[in-house]
């Protein structure tokens, strides 16, 4: 299963984005724009794109700055930018949406994001909800609160102590490594991603996955999550926006699904009237690479069908 095309897209930020496109099989109904997670890349979503293509969706998926095969002078692997990293990441997403609008004018666009991609997708929505038809915010955590502030203090201390923007030494230990060790009878430190050993092994063997992010990238990651954690950030978002929230009951990154439920309660309290939320039993972090992925993908398609109906 492969994307139809792999191309380059020049972003106004100066990034040369690596972009994958999968055309809809048959009559196109909408476009899904995918935002991948931290320390991975867009090519890992080829199976999902193939599934969506068969159901009438065009799919666009790019590597974010500091990830995969995207190139930018200020964004080597593991770093968003020398400065204004969040703004540049969101602007890169905007450039993909500009391309979609040019190539498929009038087609509804669903923005999809997993994990870090959920933060990127939500932060795009908070700024540009008028540009999209619906949003799928999956496996994210916008409930960091005091822990997020503590993470920023740790990262500030690291930046001062290390003297340059190098990979964080502490955040991987407090996140990826801690989550891996917490899995009972874990085979690798990445078993927290999925119960499917084949998918875990593919991640471990991929040189573009699993690397340690820089201090500045971690700061940007935390700040995006904290921004999504403030009700005031949602002030300009239309309340009838269709939203899908998904998490896993065994996903430590989303506090075992609690963060997903918390975001759902917040958004419902803010008046979002077209929101669905589900935490899948026994499911770990990567819903699309889990052993129940067929169910997960089919339910995504059913949700998309429901919101696209006039």
Mean pLDDT, the chain cut into blocks of 10 residues (310 residues total): 92 98 95 98 98 98 98 96 96 98 97 98 96 97 85 90 87 94 96 98 98 95 95 96 98 96 98 98 98 98 92
- Does residue 154 lie within any of the structural domains? no
Is residue 23 in some structural domain? yes
pLDDT at 145: 78
pTM for this structure?
Answer: 0.97
Q: Which residue has the tokens 């509804």?
A: 108
Torsion sign across C-alpha atoms 299, 99, 38, 233:
negative
Asked if residue 172 belongs to a domain, the reply is: no
In a domain, residue 181? The reply is no
- CATH number for the domain spanning 260: value is 3.40.50.1820
What does the buried/exposed string (b/e) look like for 59-91 if buried means 16 or more CB atoms within 10 Å of the residue's CB?
bbbbbbbbbbbbebebbebbbbbeeebbebbbb
- Quick one: pLDDT at residue 187? 97
Please give the C-alpha separations between residue 36 and each of 61, 80, 116, 270, in angstroms, as whole numbers. 8, 14, 7, 27
**pLDDT on residue 146:** 78
Residue 169 lies in a domain: no
Alpha helices for 20-108 (secondary structure H): 46-53, 85-103
pLDDT of residue 310: 66
Half-sphere exposure of 236 (CA within 13 A, CB side): 11
Q: Is 210 domain-assigned?
A: no
29 burial (CB, 10 Å; 0-12 / 13-18 / 19+) is middle
Looking at the structure of the chain, the number of domains it has is 1
Dig out the tokens for 206 from the structure: 């991929």
**Residue 243 CB-density burial (10 A; 0-12 exposed, 13-18 middle, 19+ buried):** buried
Q: Give the range of the structural domain holding residue 53, as residue numbers without chain letter.
A: 5-143+227-308
The answer to whether residue 163 sits within a structural domain is no
For residue 217, tell me if it sits in a domain: no
d(CA 151, CA 213): 14
């Amino acid at each position: 299963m492969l994307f139809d095309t792999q191309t380059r897209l020049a972003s106004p930020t100066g990034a040369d984005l690596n972009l994958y496109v999968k055309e809809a099989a048959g009559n196109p109904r909408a476009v899904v724009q995918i935002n991948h997670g931290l320390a991975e890349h867009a090519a890992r979503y080829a199976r999902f794109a193939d599934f969506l293509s068969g159901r009438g969706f065009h799919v666009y998926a790019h590597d974010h700055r500091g990830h995969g095969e995207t190139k930018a002078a200020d964004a080597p692997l593991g770093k968003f930018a020398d400065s204004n990293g969040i703004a540049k990441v969101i602007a890169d997403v905007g450039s993909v949406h500009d391309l979609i609008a040019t190539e498929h004018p009038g087609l509804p666009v669903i923005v999809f994001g997993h994990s870090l991609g959920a933060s990127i997708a939500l932060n795009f929505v908070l700024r540009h909800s008028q540009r999209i038809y619906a949003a799928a915010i999956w496996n994210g955590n916008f409930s960091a609160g005091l822990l997020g502030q503590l993470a920023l203090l740790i990262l500030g201390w690291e930046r001062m102590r290390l003297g340059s923007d190098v990979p964080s030494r502490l955040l991987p230990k407090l996140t990826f490594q801690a989550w891996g060790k917490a899995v009972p009878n874990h085979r690798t430190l990445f078993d927290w991603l999925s119960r499917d050993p084949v998918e875990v092994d593919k991640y471990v063997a991929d040189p573009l996955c699993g690397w340690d992010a820089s201090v500045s990238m971690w700061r940007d990651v935390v700040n995006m999550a904290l921004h999504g954690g403030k009700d005031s950030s949602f002030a300009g978002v239309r309340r009838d926006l269709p939203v899908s929230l998904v998490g896993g009951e065994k996903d430590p990154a989303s506090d075992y699904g609690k963060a997903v439920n918390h975001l759902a309660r917040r958004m419902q309290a803010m008046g979002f009237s077209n929101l669905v939320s589900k935490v899948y039993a026994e499911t770990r972090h990567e819903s699309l690479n889990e052993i129940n992925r067929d169910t997960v993908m089919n339910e995504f398609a059913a949700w998309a069908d429901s919101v696209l109906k006039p």
